[in-house]
């Protein structure tokens, strides 16, 4: 259902509102004029409700009575944490998503947009990957728990539509970079962990060691771009099938390219070493943004170099509060 066709006061609940994407949505809604008159936006963190727990999920929905939900909350981690704890990632995310979607249905929420991730796509596949290919084979072994839990959101959305006519859908951002990410060296996302690592090497006057060969390739998207697109998905996108939110295939870069951009942004002049004994993760997962481009041919993506520079600047300016 298009939000415009919904009659009555709109209350949008954003789960995972304290994270990288939650903060990006908050920024674009509150500071870029995307908030419409009469709309209420509520941003939740795990402190408001642990969504693994059904009662807490129901209580927070009772409290705010949302009409629309952007569901970002997830147990997320870096490559090495996923490799160690696939079962935890599977069970917590299955519960979070089931609690969220069923409670939304019971409380008559008219639209839910959940976030999947490009790492849930089949490991052995043809490129570019598109939205029709999510279930076409096992995901990469390193994060199978998280991936299968995320894939089930798509299955659930189909079920809620078939059985109850619900317009619950999902967006699939590729690798996001931006302020408020987790910059933890062990558990952070690849670029943010690298930003922290590079900063540390600069401050300590050491060389920088990058995990893996640097050959893996990724499409990085700036968090505020994803925020703008998620608000559009909530308001305008009517399909149940997911939509990939990504820069074009031609904008994919290698980790080595990204490391050089970070070094430039942070003015790091030391030696850069690659520890080739460590895993690169999936070597590529190139995604097609053709569907997005059909809907939004004119959307202007922030160039990756600028996105990295803005993230580095934010990290330095907010070093004390940054998750690390
Ligand atoms: N970042 C990416 O590159 C990327 C790419 C594709 C898709 N995604 C998806 O986008 C969504 C948001 O990612 P993100 O990078 O913004 O994550 P993030 O920065 O790690 O934030 C995670 C959010 O989820 C909340 N959360 C975690 N466990 C929870 C629980 N048990 N109950 C309630 N809330 C809980 C956290 O709350 P606290 O702050 O209180 O811990 C936080 O607000 C996720 O679903 C992720 O899979 C992310």
- Residue 83 C-alpha to ligand 1 middle, in angstroms? 18
Return the pLDDT at 2.
58
Identify which has the larger pLDDT, 9 or 28. 28
Tally the residues of the chain.
324
Return the pLDDT at 76.
86
Return the pLDDT at 230.
98
Return the pLDDT at 6.
67
| Residue 71 Cα: closest atom of ligand 1 | 45
| Residue 47 Cα: closest atom of ligand 1 | 40
Residue 320: inside a domain: no
Q: Does a cis peptide bond (omega within 30 degrees of 0) precede residue 128?
A: yes
User: For the segment 90-136, what is each residue's pLDDT rounded down to a tens digit?
Assistant: 999 999 999 999 999 999 999 999 999 988 999 899 999 999 999 99
Residue 30: inside a domain: yes
35 SS3 class: coil
What whole-number distance in Å separates Cα of residue 142 and Cα of residue 147? 10
Range of the domain at 167: 10-178+219-250+286-302
Residue 280: inside a domain: no
- What CATH number is associated with residue 101? 3.40.50.720
What whole-number distance in Å separates Cα of residue 44 and Cα of residue 19? 10
Residue 87: inside a domain: yes
Which residues sit with their C-beta closer than 6 Å to ligand 1?
15-22, 45-47, 50-52, 72-76, 96, 115, 117, 173, 175-176, 182, 189
Arithmetic mean of pLDDT, 61-89? 91
Residue 228: inside a domain: yes
Residue 224: inside a domain: yes
Cβ neighbourhood burial of 278 (10 Å; 0-12, 13-18, 19+) = middle
Return the pLDDT at 277.
87
Residue 109: inside a domain: yes
Rg over alpha carbons for the chain, rounded to the nearest Å, is 19
Which tokens hold the place of 37? 């008159």
Residue bearing the CA closest to ligand 1, atom 17: 19
Arithmetic mean of pLDDT, 10-21? 96
Tell me the average pLDDT of the chain.
93
pLDDT beyond 70 at 233: yes
Q: Which residues are catalytic?
A: 146
How many structural domains does the chain have?
Answer: 1
For a mutational test of ligand 1's pocket, the pick from 42, 59, 76, 179, i.e. the residue with the most ligand atoms closer than 8 A to its C-beta, is: 76
User: For the segment 35-52, what is each residue's pLDDT rounded down to a tens digit?
Assistant: 888 899 999 999 999 999
Residue bearing the CA closest to ligand 1, atom 29: 46
User: For the segment 243-287, what is each residue's pLDDT rounded down to a tens digit?
Assistant: 999 999 999 999 999 999 999 999 999 999 999 988 777 788 899
- Residue 92 C-alpha to ligand 1 middle, in angstroms? 12
- Residue 316 C-alpha to ligand 1 middle, in angstroms? 22
Return the pLDDT at 119.
85
- Residue 181 C-alpha to ligand 1 middle, in angstroms? 9
**Percent of residues, the chain, with pLDDT higher than 90:** 83
**Cβ count near 12 (within 10 Å):** 25
DSSP single-letter state for residue 137: S
Residue 206: inside a domain: no
């Amino acid at each position: 259902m298009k939000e415009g066709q919904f009659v009555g006061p709109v209350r949008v609940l954003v789960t995972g509102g304290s994270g990288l994407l939650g903060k990006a949505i908050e920024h674009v809604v509150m500071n870029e004029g995307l908030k419409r008159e009469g709309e209420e936006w509520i941003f939740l963190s795990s402190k408001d409700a642990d969504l693994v727990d059904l009662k807490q999920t129901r209580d927070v929905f009772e409290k705010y009575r949302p009409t629309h939900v952007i569901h970002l909350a997830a147990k997320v981690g870096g490559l090495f944490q996923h490799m160690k704890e696939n079962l935890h990632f599977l069970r917590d995310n299955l519960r979070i998503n089931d609690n969220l979607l069923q409670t939304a249905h019971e409380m008559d929420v008219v639209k839910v947009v959940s976030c999947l991730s490009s790492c849930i796509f089949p490991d052995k596949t043809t490129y570019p990957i598109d939205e029709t290919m999510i279930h076409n084979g096992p995901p990469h072994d390193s994060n199978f728990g998280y991936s299968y839990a995320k894939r089930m959101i798509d299955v659930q959305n189909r079920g809620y539509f078939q059985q109850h006519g619900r317009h619950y859908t999902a967006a699939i951002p590729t690798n996001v970079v931006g302020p408020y990410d987790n910059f933890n060296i062990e558990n952070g996302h690849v670029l943010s962990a690298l930003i922290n690592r590079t900063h540390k090497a600069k401050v300590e006057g050491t060389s920088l060691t990058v995990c893996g060969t640097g050959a893996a390739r990724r499409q990085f998207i700036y968090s505020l771009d994803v925020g703008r697109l998620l608000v559009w998905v909530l308001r305008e996108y009517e399909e149940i099938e997911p939509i990939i939110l990504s820069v074009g295939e031609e904008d994919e870069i290698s980790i080595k390219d990204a490391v050089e951009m970070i070094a430039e942004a942070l003015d790091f002049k030391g030696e850069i070493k690659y520890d080739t004994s460590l895993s690169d993760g999936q070597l590529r997962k190139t995604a097609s943004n053709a569907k997005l481009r059909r809907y939004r041919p004119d959307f202007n993506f922030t160039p990756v170099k600028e996105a990295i520079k803005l993230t580095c600047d934010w990290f330095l300016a907010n070093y004390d509060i940054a998750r690390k």
